[in-house]
Structure 1
Amino acid sequence: MRVGVVHGPNLRLLGRREPGVYGTATLDEIDARIAALADELGVEIETFQSNHEGELLDHFETVADRVDGFVVNAAALTHTSVALRDALAGVGRPFVEVHLSNTAAREGFRHHSFLAPVAAGVVYGFGVDSYLLGLRGLVARLGTSARSGAPHD
């Protein structure tokens, strides 16, 4: 099983960007924790980060044939990008939307997600553990689909 982990805009600033909201872990530290869990679960991961919406769209299209699903923190694009929603729906791979902060407890504009209606699940508010819970949930879903013979896309 192979999972793409995709980080959206401004997430390279983690560790120094608003640590009271996002914590003190850097993106490299988050990726290391994801990699450790993936190893424990017997899953290959492929990580990607971009601040550019078009690069994220191209990435989903490019890697969809080599991954079984995605863990996605689209950051602010979650609340603004219909194009990102359409790309994720269009590639036919299940994904889990994740966020470090509790978006429901933040500014009103962060309460709406264009991605959630097409996501397999959403995890937010648990800091770095949001990614780990999202990966566990996606792997469980993909494993269930594989065992049942049902398509996972």
Structure 2
Amino acid sequence: MAENATGPIYVLNGPNLNLLGLREPEIYGHDTLDDIAGMLEDRARELGLEIDLRQSNHEGHLVDWLHEAQARRAKAVLLNAGAFTHSSIAIHDAIKAVTTPVIEVHLSNPHRREEFRHISYVGRAAKGTIAGFGAQSYMLALEAAARF
């Protein structure tokens, strides 16, 4: 857990998550990233927390934002790294390098999908994982982060 964590909860989203609601809704649901942001902002306000939601299709941005979360003394990071979950040693190493707790988030359950999705470099470094509950996965992760 981050010492003296006084900053926001970062909600970081990786590649193609800007297409939520359009991309394979049978897997990812009909909620857009803006819909999820609105739900998170409402609940964060109720909990007296601030969130900072971002999305990028670029791996380096996610690494930089993990470093920034540490520098800003973020309370936690909710990270849906998308496909980088299964391929990015750089994101794994960034999570290991910071003391800010990171919760891995997935809309679908990767273990019920293609074999290559069963490996999670993010999950190997994260404090925990919440997956398979659609947009509700983010809400459950926020509830967990609120308790840090």
Shorter-chain TM-score above 0.5:
yes
Whether 1:75 aligns to 2:54 is no
Q: What amino acid sits opposite 1:32 in the alignment? A: G
1:64 shift after superposition: 1.9
> 1:85 pairs with 92, 95, 99, which one?
92
CA distance in structure 2 between the aligned counterparts of 1:138 and 1:118, rounded to whole angstroms: 16
CA contact (8 A) 2:75 2:145 kept: no
Q: What amino acid sits opposite 1:12 in the alignment? A: N
> 1:5 pairs with 6, 11, 34, which one?
11
- Give the gaps of 5 or more residues in structure 1: 143-153
**% identical aligned pairs:** 45
User: Which residue in 1 is equivalent to 2:54?
Assistant: 48
What's the TM-score once normalised by structure 1's chain length?
0.89
User: Which residue in 1 is equivalent to 2:32?
Assistant: 26
User: Which residue in 2 is equivalent to 1:109?
Assistant: 116
1:137 shift after superposition: 0.9
CA distance in structure 2 between the aligned counterparts of 1:106 and 1:65, rounded to whole angstroms: 36
User: Which residue in 2 is equivalent to 1:35?
Assistant: 41
**Matched residue pairs, number?**
141
CA distance in structure 2 between the aligned counterparts of 1:131 and 1:19, rounded to whole angstroms: 17
Higher relative contact order structure (alpha carbons within 8 Å, sequence separation ≥ 6): 2
1:63 shift after superposition: 3.0
